[in-house]
Structure 1
Amino acid sequence: MRKSALFLLPLLGACTTVPASVPSAPAASRPAASPPPQEVRVAPTTPSFRAPRVMNVPGLEGVIGRNETALANMFGPPRLNVTEGDAKKLQFVGEACVLDIYLYPLEPRGEPSATYVDARRASDGLDVDRAACVQALKR
Structure 2
Amino acid sequence: MLAALTLSACGEVVPPPRPASFTPATPRPSTPLQAAPAPQANGVIGVDARALIKLLGEPRLDIRDPAARKLQFSDGRCILDAYLYPARDRKEPVVTYAEARKSDGTQMDWTACASQLRSR
Give the drift of 1:78.
Answer: 0.5
**Partner amino acid, structure 2, of 1:73:** K
- CA RMSD in angstroms comes to 3.2
Give the drift of 1:107.
Answer: 1.4
Q: Deviations over 1:45-80 (max 9, x none)?
A: xx7343359789x864x1111101101101111010
**Which runs of at least 4 in structure 1 moved beyond 2 Å after TM superposition?**
47-56
Figure out how many residues of one structure are paired with residues of the other and give that number.
94
Percent of pairs identical after alignment?
41
The TM-score normalised by the length of structure 2 is 0.65
Q: Distance in 2 between matches of 1:106 and 1:118?
A: 20
Query: Superposed, which structure 2 residues align to 1:66-85 within 5 Å?
Result: 66-85=47-66
The TM-score normalised by the length of structure 1 is 0.56
Instruction: Determine the structure 2 residue equivalent to 1:106.
Output: 87
For 1:81, what is the secondary structure of its paired residue?
strand
Instruction: Determine the structure 2 residue equivalent to 1:128.
Output: 108
For 2:50, what is the secondary structure of its paired residue?
helix
Q: Distance in 2 between matches of 1:115 and 1:82?
A: 15
Select which of 71, 83, 93 maps to 1:90. Answer: 71
